[in-house]
Amino acid sequence: MSAADTTTLGRRELLAGVAAVAASASVLASLPGADVAAEVGAPGPRKRRPSNVPLYDLEVWEAADLIKRKKLSPVELAEATLARIEAVEPTINSFANLYPAEEILAQARAAATEIARGRYRGPLHGITVGVKDIYLTAGKVTEGNSDLYRGFVPSFDATAVVRLEQAGAVIVGKTGTSELATATSWPARNPWDFERAAGGSSTGSATAVAASEVMVGMGTCTGGSIRGPAANCGLTGFKPTYGTISLYGIMPLAWSMDHAGPLVHCARDAAIVVDAIGGQDPLDPQTRPVAGYQLTKRLDTASGAKPLRRVRVGVPVEGDYFLGVPNDDQLTAFFAAVDVLKAQGATIVPVSTDVLLGGRLSSTSSIYDIIRSGEVAAFQHDNLRTRPEAMSEAYRSRVAAGVLMPGHAYTQAQRVRRLWRDTILSVFDHIDVLVHPADNIATRSGGPNPPQARPSSGSKTNVWNLSGAPAVAIPTGFDSLFNMPLSMQCVAAPGRDAEALLVADGFQRETDFHRARPAL
119, 415, 430, 454: which one binds other proteins (CB under 8 A): 415
Distance separating alpha carbons of residues 204 and 223, to the nearest angstrom: 17
Please report, as residue ranges, which positions from 420 to 449 form the binding site for other proteins (by CB under 8 A). Answer: 421-422, 425
Q: Which residues fall within 8 angstroms of residue 297, CB to CB, at 6 or more apart?
A: none
Distance separating alpha carbons of residues 138 and 249, to the nearest angstrom: 10
Binding part of the chain for other proteins, among 67-75, 112-120, 283-291, 345-353 by CB under 8 A, reads 283-291
Residue 397 in the binding site for other proteins (CB under 8 A): yes
Contacts with other proteins: how many residues (CB under 8 A)? Answer: 52
Closest CA to 177 of 251, 82, 241, 100: 251
Distance separating alpha carbons of residues 279 and 115, to the nearest angstrom: 25
- CA-to-CA dists, residue 456 to 304, 323, 329, 460, angstroms: 38, 9, 14, 9
How many other CB atoms are found less than 10 A from the CB of residue 41? 13
289, 407, 447, 448: which one binds other proteins (CB under 8 A): 289
Binding part of the chain for other proteins, among 50-58, 164-172, 273-281, 392-400 by CB under 8 A, reads 392-400
| Distance from chain centroid for Cα 146 | 22
Residue 132's DSSP bridge partners are 175
Residue 86 in the binding site for other proteins (CB under 8 A): no
360, 451, 452, 454: which one binds other proteins (CB under 8 A): 360
Residue 200 in the binding site for other proteins (CB under 8 A): no
The answer to whether residue 202 is catalytic is no
Residue 419 in the binding site for other proteins (CB under 8 A): yes
Q: Select 137 or 244, whichever has its Cβ closest to other proteins.
A: 244
The answer to whether residue 68 is catalytic is no
26, 155, 362, 445: which one binds other proteins (CB under 8 A): 362
The one catalytic residue in 47, 132, 140, 460 is 132
How many other CB atoms are found less than 10 A from the CB of residue 148? 17
CA angle 317, 321, 323 (to 5 degrees): 60
Residue 307, φ and ψ in degrees, nearest 5? -65, -15
Half-sphere exposure of 110 toward its Cβ, with a 13 Å CA cutoff? 16
Binding part of the chain for other proteins, among 63-71, 98-106, 401-409, 447-455 by CB under 8 A, reads 401-409
Q: Select 102 or 382, whichever has its Cβ closest to other proteins.
A: 382
Residue 495 in the binding site for other proteins (CB under 8 A): yes
Residue 292 in the binding site for other proteins (CB under 8 A): no
Q: Select 95 or 242, whichever has its Cβ closest to other proteins.
A: 242
Q: Decide: helix, strand or coil at residue 49.
A: strand
H or E element that contains 300? helix 295-301
Please report, as residue ranges, which positions from 298 to 337 form the binding site for other proteins (by CB under 8 A). Answer: none
- Find the Cα–Cα–Cα–Cα dihedral 108, 235, 212, 506, rounded to 10°: 70
Q: Select 342 or 396, whichever has its Cβ closest to other proteins.
A: 396
The answer to whether residue 306 is catalytic is no
Residue 239 in the binding site for other proteins (CB under 8 A): no
H or E element that contains 184? none
Residue 256 in the binding site for other proteins (CB under 8 A): yes
Q: Decide: helix, strand or coil at residue 477.
A: strand
Q: Select 120 or 410, whichever has its Cβ closest to other proteins.
A: 410
Q: Select 153 or 394, whichever has its Cβ closest to other proteins.
A: 394
- The distance in angstroms from the start CA to the end CA of the chain is 12
**Residue 308 identity (one-letter amino acid):** L
Binding part of the chain for other proteins, among 214-222, 308-316, 363-371, 511-519 by CB under 8 A, reads 363-371
Half-sphere exposure of 495 toward its Cβ, with a 13 Å CA cutoff? 5
Please report, as residue ranges, which positions from 453 to 482 form the binding site for other proteins (by CB under 8 A). Answer: 468
H or E element that contains 335? helix 328-343
Q: Decide: helix, strand or coil at residue 307.
A: coil
Q: Select 345 or 495, whichever has its Cβ closest to other proteins.
A: 495
Residue 382 in the binding site for other proteins (CB under 8 A): no
Distance separating alpha carbons of residues 278 and 292, to the nearest angstrom: 6
H or E element that contains 38? helix 36-40
24, 51, 52, 286: which one binds other proteins (CB under 8 A): 286
396, 443, 444, 519: which one binds other proteins (CB under 8 A): 396
Residue numbers at the binding site for other proteins (CB under 8 A): 241-243, 256-257, 286, 288-289, 357, 360-362, 365-370, 373, 384-385, 388-389, 393-394, 396-398, 400-406, 409, 411-419, 421-422, 425, 468, 493-495
List the catalytic residues.
132, 201, 225
